[in-house]
C-alpha cells in the first residue's frame, strides 16, 4: 500500500457547527477497507504556537490559567493562535509578549506538530526564545494568567510527574531536554 495516497473516500461532508475559531464537520466515508463509516472532523481557523522562553540562567517561564474545557487549572508554555495565512513566528512573538511581557532577540523553530490528529487538523509550531528582555505583559480579556519563572529542569520534571499535561508544552520541553542534555 502506498502510504502517500489517501485510502479513505469522503462521500459527503456537512458543517454541523462553526464559530470564529473552528468548524465541526460530519462526514460520511468509505474506510480503507471499503466499508461505510462516519468521521467527525474539527478544523481550526488558527495554527497553534508555543514558546519555550529560556533566559541566560537556564530558567523558563510558564503560564498558569484555568482551562474551561478541562475544568482545571493548568501550567503550560506561553501559547496561542496564529491565524491561517499569518507567519507562526510573528504570532509566537506576540503571544510571548502578551502573556509574559518578554521580548526575545533570538528565535529558533523547534518543531511542527499535530496536536490530536485523529479528530482535528490542528497544526502547531514550537519555538525557543532566547536573549530575553522583560517588559509589561498584556493578556487578552479572556485570559486570567499567572506567570512563573522556573528552572528549565523543573519544567521538565513537571512534564515527567504529570503537573504539565498540555501537548505542546510536553513536546517542546521534552525536545529541549533531549537537545540540551537536561
pLDDT score at 145: 84
* Residue 152: burial class (beta carbons within 10 Å; 0-12, 13-18, 19+): buried
- Segment 37-51 mean pLDDT: 95
- Segment 159-170 mean pLDDT: 97
Cα distance between residue 85 and residue 25, in whole Å:
21
Domain 46-180 has CATH 3.40.50.300: no
The residues with which 54 forms a beta bridge, in sequence order, are: 60
- Segment 97-107 mean pLDDT: 96
Express each pLDDT in 106-127 by its tens digit.
Answer: 999 999 999 888 899 999 999 9
Q: Is residue 1's pLDDT more than 60? A: no
Cα distance between residue 149 and residue 174, in whole Å:
18
Q: Is residue 29's pLDDT more than 80? A: yes
Express each pLDDT in 53-92 by its tens digit.
Answer: 999 999 999 999 999 989 999 999 999 999 989 999 999 9
pTM: 0.90
Locate the domains of the chain by residue range. Answer: 9-44, 46-180
Q: Give the pLDDT band (50/70/90) at residue 2.
A: low
- Segment 21-34 mean pLDDT: 95
Amino acid at each position: 500500500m502506498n502510504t502517500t495516497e489517501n485510502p479513505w473516500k469522503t462521500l459527503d461532508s456537512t458543517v454541523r457547527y462553526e464559530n470564529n475559531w473552528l468548524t465541526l464537520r460530519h462526514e460520511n466515508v468509505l474506510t480503507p477497507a471499503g466499508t461505510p463509516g462516519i468521521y467527525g472532523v474539527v478544523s481550526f481557523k488558527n495554527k497553534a504556537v508555543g514558546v519555550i522562553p529560556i533566559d541566560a540562567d537556564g530558567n523558563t517561564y510558564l503560564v498558569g490559567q484555568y482551562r474551561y474545557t478541562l475544568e482545571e487549572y493548568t501550567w503550560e508554555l506561553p501559547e496561542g493562535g496564529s491565524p491561517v495565512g499569518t507567519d507562526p513566528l510573528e504570532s509566537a512573538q506576540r503571544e510571548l509578549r502578551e502573556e509574559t511581557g518578554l521580548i526575545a532577540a533570538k528565535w529558533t523553530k523547534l518543531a511542527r506538530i499535530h496536536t490530536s490528529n485523529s479528530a482535528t487538523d490542528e497544526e502547531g509550531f514550537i519555538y525557543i526564545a532566547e536573549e530575553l528582555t522583560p517588559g509589561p505583559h498584556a493578556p487578552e480579556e479572556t485570559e486570567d494568567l499567572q506567570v512563573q519563572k522556573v528552572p528549565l529542569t523543573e519544567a521538565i520534571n513537571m512534564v515527567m510527574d504529570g503537573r504539565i499535561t498540555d501537548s505542546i508544552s510536553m513536546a517542546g520541553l521534552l525536545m529541549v531536554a533531549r537537545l540540551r542534555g537536561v
